[in-house]
């Protein structure tokens, strides 16, 4: 329903993942919008992601195919490696959506598996539909939560280079060098958690709970007031003016509309710099507490 609503309002990019456990429902919403003639399949850009337990070639294929079937749209526009970390395989029938755990009760963290990213990347390349590979079921491939070193590594052997890098990105975590590296290599950057701590509050994330809301910061509020926009729209515009694609999430129709209408004004260079100066290298989405400090 949320996805159908969003498409009805004008959204065309839907960001999904195996880990979100809702691809079948999201696909249902998309198919309803197509059946009602609101959009055509080719108007939409559907992204999904490979979870950490399925980095081995055969598992990557199996998960990607199941994911494609769950969406029920024929193909995926973009398929990303969700995290640069490989965890032990858990058979699908044993635990369908493991997250970082190996048990339903989420008490046991899944151990690491020895799968190099090169194996996983080659598996993704073989999913891409090309004239030589007409049975491919994804249109483009990319990476998420990768840092510079691993991007250089992937670029050194990729036959199909990554199209997209998806990263946590907000004024508390601006990552200009990583963004420049990606963009210099023709890799489009998508930013998630544009509103910083906001989406982590409902998870009782300790770091997010003690961090001042970006919506409440004087700098953001003043800029919003000056442009007659909301703080949320200013945060989104700051991203898009840095050529970072945004994928804001909302369950509220008014905020969905508000977020969609965030390119109808321009921030000045001074305002962009002022917002960027809030950078504290503050990352909310990390797995340190589980023993995987992948951004260390």
Whether 238 and 220 have beta carbons less than 8 Å apart is answered as no
Of 4, 13, 20, 192, which is the active-site residue? 20
Residue span binding ligand NAP (CB under 6 A) among the ranges 24-32, 135-143, 206-214, 243-251:
243-251
Taking phi over 0 as left and psi of -120 to 50 as alpha, with beta for the rest, 106 belongs to left
Q: Say which residues have a Cβ less than 8 Å from residue 144's Cβ, sequence separation at least 6.
A: 49, 80, 81, 82, 83, 165, 166, 167
Using CB under 6 A as the binding rule, whether residue 52 contacts ligand NAP is answered as: no
Q: Is 29 one of the binding residues for ligand NAP (CB under 6 A)?
A: no
Report the alpha-carbon distance of residue 184 to residue 187 in Å, rounded: 7
Contacts with ligand NAP by CB under 6 A: the residue count is 24
The yes or no reply on residue 195 touching ligand NAP (CB under 6 A) is: yes
- Counting Cβ atoms within 10 Å, is residue 152 exposed (0-12), middle (13-18) or buried (19+)? exposed
The strand pairing partners of 133, in sequence order, are 130
110 binds ligand NAP (CB under 6 A): no
Q: Which residues neighbour 156 within 8 Å (Cβ) at sequence distance 6 or greater?
A: none
Q: Say whether residue 285 binds ligand NAP (CB under 6 A).
A: yes
Interface characters, 149-188, with ligand NAP (x: CB under 6 A) = -----------------x----------------------
Q: Which of 248, 267, 271, 278 forms a contact with ligand NAP (CB under 6 A)?
A: 248
Which is nearer to ligand NAP, 17 or 127 (by Cβ)? 17
End-to-end CA gap in the chain: 39
For residue 198, state whether it binds ligand NAP (rule: CB under 6 A): yes
Contact indicator for 120, 51 with CB cutoff of 8 Å:
no
Q: Which has the closest alpha carbon to 169: 276, 251, 263?
A: 276
Residues 6+ apart with CB under 8 A from 174: 276, 278, 279
Q: Which of 71, 193, 217, 292 binds ligand NAP (CB under 6 A)?
A: 193
The answer to the question of residue 140 lying near ligand NAP (CB under 6 A) is: no
The piece of 65-73, 117-125, 148-156, 249-257 that touches ligand NAP (CB under 6 A) is: 249-257
Q: How far apart are CA 290 and CA 111, in angstroms?
A: 10
Of positions 129, 250, 286, 287, contacts ligand NAP by CB under 6 A? 250
- Which residue lies nearest ligand NAP, judged by its C-beta? 232
Binding flag, residue 145, ligand NAP (CB under 6 A): yes
Whether 75 is a known active-site residue: answer no
221 contacts ligand NAP (rule: CB under 6 A): no
Q: Does position 204 bind ligand NAP by CB under 6 A?
A: no
Rounded CA gap, 35 and 56, in Å? 36
| Interface with ligand NAP (CB under 6 A) | 15, 82, 144-145, 166, 192-195, 198-199, 215, 230, 232, 247-252, 255, 258-259, 285
């Amino acid at each position: 329903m949320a996805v159908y609503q969003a498409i009805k309002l004008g959204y065309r990019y839907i960001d999904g993942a195996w880990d979100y456990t809702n691809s079948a429902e999201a696909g249902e919403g998309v198919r309803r919008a197509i059946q009602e003639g609101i959009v055509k399949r080719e108007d939409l850009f559907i992204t999904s992601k490979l979870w950490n337990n399925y980095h081995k070639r055969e598992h990557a294929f199996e998960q990607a195919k199941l994911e494609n079937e769950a969406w029920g749209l024929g193909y995926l526009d973009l398929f990303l490696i969700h995290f640069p970390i490989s965890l032990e395989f858990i058979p699908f029938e044993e635990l369908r959506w493991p997250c970082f755990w190996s048990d339903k009760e989420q008490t046991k963290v899944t151990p690491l598996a020895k799968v190099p990213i090169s194996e996983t990347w080659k598996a993704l390349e073989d999913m891409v539909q090309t004239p030589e590979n007409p049975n491919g079921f994804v249109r483009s491939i990319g990476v998420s939560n990768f840092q510079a070193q691993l991007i250089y590594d992937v670029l050194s052997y990729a036959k199909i280079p990554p199209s997209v890098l998806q990263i946590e990105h907000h004024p508390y975590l601006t990552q200009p060098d990583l963004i420049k590296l990606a963009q210099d290599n023709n890799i489009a950057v998508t930013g998630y958690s544009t509103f910083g701590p906001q989406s982590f509050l409902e998870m009782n994330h300790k770091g997010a709970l003690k961090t001042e809301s970006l919506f409440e910061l004087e700098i953001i509020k003043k800029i919003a007031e000056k442009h007659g926009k909301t703080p949320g729209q200013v945060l989104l515009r700051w991203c898009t003016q840095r050529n970072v694609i945004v994928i804001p999430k909302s369950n509220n129709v008014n905020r969905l509309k508000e977020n969609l209408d965030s390119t109808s004004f321009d921030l000045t260079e001074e305002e962009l710099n002022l917002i960027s100066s809030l950078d504290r290298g503050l990352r909310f989405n990390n797995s340190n507490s589980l023993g995987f400090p992948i951004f260390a």
